Amino acid sequence: MSEHVDVLTMAREQLAIAARYLDLDEGLHSVLAHPMRKLVVNFPVVLDNGAVQVFEGYRVQHNSSRGPTKGGIRYHPSVDVDETTALAMWMTWKCAVVGLPYGGAKGGVKIDTKLYSRREIEKLTRRFVTEINMVLGEWRDIPAPDIGTNAQVMAWIMDTFSMQAGYTVNGVVTGKPVDLGGSKGRVEATGRGVTVMAQQAAKTIGMDLSKSKVIVQGFGNVGSVAARLCEEHGATVVGLSDAIGGIYNENGLPVSELVHRYSGREGGIREYKDAQQVSNKELLEMPCDVLIPAAISGQVTKENADKVKAKLIVEGANGPCTPDADRIFADKGTLVVPDILANAGGVIVSYFEWVQGLQSFFWEENEVNDKLERIMTTAFQEVEATMRAHKTDMRNAALIIGVKRVADATVKRGIFP
Ligand code: NAD
């Protein structure tokens, strides 16, 4: 998008709206509007060609009133401390909305991973974790994957932290490979949760996901799984995209085949010829019933919200719709299932992974998926009831629940000393 979206301003604006509904005390509002800890590190890595490059990385912990902090680590060129702070704040509300005993955190390194070898990414990860390890820990702050990181990166994080502790610390990170203490179902969890939310939300507006046309922006972990599961539920996936661009076919795209052939291959999806080639911007405006933005933030703004044809938007990504876009959707009657509810499946199964690791007792995948679905469905019902009670939109309803739970915990604990 041409418009620059400042996600920290966006997150604070969302908090301010919820604070007005909750009649939140000014001091308490101020506590919640600021992260409790921001760590910025600059660290060198020796590249494969012998040159030394300095990288900037961040770990921001927003609020730990309800438990240790939790949140992903992102490797992307546009990562900065403000974006990381906004994402940490959203994690706090997300964990509270779905009732997990965590606060929110987020981390990242400013890097275009495409330009570096696997060995360089491993060295960067190990050095980054060493720089931030004093704020991490299984009872302190627990990272997970996000854009540009995956189970292998989580394995390196676990190993680096463990080497420094002198013993294996399984619970310091989630999203690990299953044979290293990861949970079955974690890779698919966010996309699965998005699909469950799409089913629930469709019902509330008299639609049936299995008879709907769906567009998914982003073909990474979240987008490709959500698209595949929507297709499994009978929906027709008519549009897909990755960072390079998108494809659209009103008769439907063969998602499983496309996942098999192109997932994880940037730009690959455009090699599929039996579809119209569209830009990412155009894709959002193509005809469909359900839109799942599952790439990056700031994709639907005041510039394009009125051109979006979907009646239901389910936010797989964090922050894809701006507050201006929310207002346009509220006027148009488009239902938006907000990120802090819609994409909570990842952190829910990360929580399961943490619990399983602490007990060294691991569950079967159907148990993981059943529990995930139950938690998300309950949270959806609570958010929907709050939306109706307060006559507000679903984002604000989710924030009202999340912010209130964190505010209550803060008040009950009291302000130290
Ligand atoms: P990923 O790196 O696996 O995939 C990102 C996808 O988005 C890729 O297909 C990439 O090509 C595409 N993309 C990047 N820039 C784009 C652009 N400008 N336009 C269109 N597509 C673009 O990342 P992911 O883990 O799938 O995360 C996607 C979003 O979901 C992020 O906002 C992330 O914070 C959020 N999220 C992820 C998880 C998780 O468990 N992975 C959990 C909650 C939220």
Q: What is the reported pLDDT for 263?
A: 75
Fold type of domain 189-340: Rossmann fold (3.40.50)
**Is it the case that residue 113 has pLDDT exceeding 70?**
yes
**CA distance linking residue 145 with residue 85, whole number of Å:** 17
Q: What is the reported pLDDT for 64?
A: 98
Query: Which atom in ligand 1 lies closest to the alpha carbon of residue 319?
Result: 32
Query: Which atom in ligand 1 lies closest to the alpha carbon of residue 246?
Result: 20
| Domain boundaries defined on the chain | 35-169, 189-340
Report residue 84 as tokens: 């990381």
Report residue 191 as tokens: 């996309």
- Sign for the CA dihedral angle at 219, 79, 304, 90 comes to positive
Query: Which atom in ligand 1 lies closest to the alpha carbon of residue 318?
Result: 32
Q: For residue 99, report the phi and psi dihedrals to the nearest 5 degrees.
A: 75, 30
Give every CB contact of residue 286 below 8 A, 6+ residues apart in sequence: 215, 238, 239, 248, 278, 309
Q: What is the reported pLDDT for 1?
A: 39
> pLDDT tens digits for 293-302?
999 999 999 9
Annotated active-site residue 70? The verdict is no
- Report percent pLDDT > 90 for the chain: 96
Say if residues 343 and 318 touch (Cβ distance below 8 Å): yes
3-class DSSP string for the chain: CCCCCCHHHHHHHHHHHHHHHHCCCHHHHHHHHCCCEEEEEEEEEECCCCCEEEEEEEEEEEECCCCCEEEEEEEECCCCHHHHHHHHHHHHHHHHHCCCCCEEEEEEEECCHHHCCHHHHHHHHHHHHHHHHHHCECCCEEEEECCCCCHHHHHHHHHHHHHHHCCCCHHHCCCCCHHHCCCCCHHHHHHHHHHHHHHHHHHHCCCCHHHCEEEEECCCHHHHHHHHHHHHCCCEEEEEEECCEEEECCCCCCHHHHHHHHCCCCCHHHHCCCCEEECHHHHHCCCCCEEEECCCCCCECCCCHHHCCCCEEECCCCCCECHHHHHHHHHHCCEEECHHHHCCHHHHHHHHHHHHHHHCCCCCHHHHHHHHHHHHHHHHHHHHHHHHHHCCCHHHHHHHHHHHHHHHHHHHHCCCC
Residue with tokens 């307060």: 390
Say if residues 283 and 215 touch (Cβ distance below 8 Å): yes
Which position has the higher pLDDT, 188 or 2? Answer: 188
Query: Helices 151-165 and 118-132: crossing angle, nearest 10°?
Result: 50
Nearest CA to ligand 1 atom 18: 243
Nearest CA to ligand 1 atom 16: 243
User: Cα(221) to centroid of ligand 1, in Å?
Assistant: 7
> pLDDT tens digits for 117-134?
999 999 999 999 999 999
> pLDDT tens digits for 325-355?
999 999 999 999 999 999 999 999 999 999 9
Nearest CA to ligand 1 atom 3: 220
Query: Which atom in ligand 1 lies closest to the alpha carbon of residue 266?
Result: 11
What's domain 35-169's architecture? 3-Layer(aba) Sandwich (3.40)
Q: What is the reported pLDDT for 403?
A: 98
Q: Which listed residue (106, 176, 184, 311) is catalytic?
A: 106
User: Cα(218) to centroid of ligand 1, in Å?
Assistant: 6
User: Cα(161) to centroid of ligand 1, in Å?
Assistant: 26
Q: Terminus-to-terminus CA distance in the chain, angstroms?
A: 46
Nearest CA to ligand 1 atom 14: 243
- Residues 303-309: what's their mean pLDDT? 97
Nearest CA to ligand 1 atom 33: 317
**Is the bond leading into 254 cis (omega within 30 degrees of zero)?**
no
Report residue 192 as tokens: 């699965």
User: Cα(26) to centroid of ligand 1, in Å?
Assistant: 35
> pLDDT tens digits for 135-189?
999 999 999 999 999 999 999 999 999 999 999 999 999 999 999 999 999 999 9
Q: Which one of 147, 176, 244, 315 would you pick to mutate in the ligand 1 pocket, going by the greatest count of ligand atoms within 8 A of its CB? A: 147
User: Rounded to the nearest 5 degrees, what angle is found at the Cα of 134, between the Cα atoms of 128 and 114?
Assistant: 15
**Is it the case that residue 2 has pLDDT exceeding 50?**
no
Say if residues 344 and 380 touch (Cβ distance below 8 Å): no
Domains 35-169 and 189-340 share a fold: yes
**Is it the case that residue 283 has pLDDT exceeding 90?**
yes
User: Cα(294) to centroid of ligand 1, in Å?
Assistant: 6
Give the residue from 207, 276, 191 showing the smallest Cα distance to 240. 276
Query: Which atom in ligand 1 lies closest to the alpha carbon of residue 175?
Result: 40
Confidence bin at 5 (pLDDT 50/70/90): confident
Q: Which one of 84, 146, 240, 349 would you pick to mutate in the ligand 1 pocket, going by the greatest count of ligand atoms within 8 A of its CB? A: 146
How far CA 338 is from CA of 50, 129, 215, 308, in Å, comes to 46, 31, 17, 16
Q: Which residues, listed in sequence order, are joined to residue 52 by a DSSP beta bridge?
A: 46
User: Cα(99) to centroid of ligand 1, in Å?
Assistant: 24
**Is it the case that residue 35 has pLDDT exceeding 60?**
yes
**CA distance linking residue 348 with residue 357, whole number of Å:** 14
Residues with CB under 6 A from ligand 1: 145-148, 190, 217-223, 241-243, 266, 280, 294-296, 316-318, 343, 346
- Residues 78-90: what's their mean pLDDT? 97
- Residues 200-226: what's their mean pLDDT? 97
Confidence bin at 204 (pLDDT 50/70/90): very high
What is the average pLDDT value for the chain, to the nearest integer? 96
The overall pTM is greater than 0.95: yes
Q: Which one of 229, 296, 299 would you pick to mutate in the ligand 1 pocket, going by the greatest count of ligand atoms within 8 A of its CB? A: 296
**Is it the case that residue 3 has pLDDT exceeding 70?**
no
User: Cα(140) to centroid of ligand 1, in Å?
Assistant: 26
Query: Which atom in ligand 1 lies closest to the alpha carbon of residue 148?
Result: 2
Confidence bin at 4 (pLDDT 50/70/90): low
User: Cα(166) to centroid of ligand 1, in Å?
Assistant: 34
Query: Helices 345-359 and 81-97: crossing angle, nearest 10°?
Result: 80
Residue with tokens 């509270």: 96
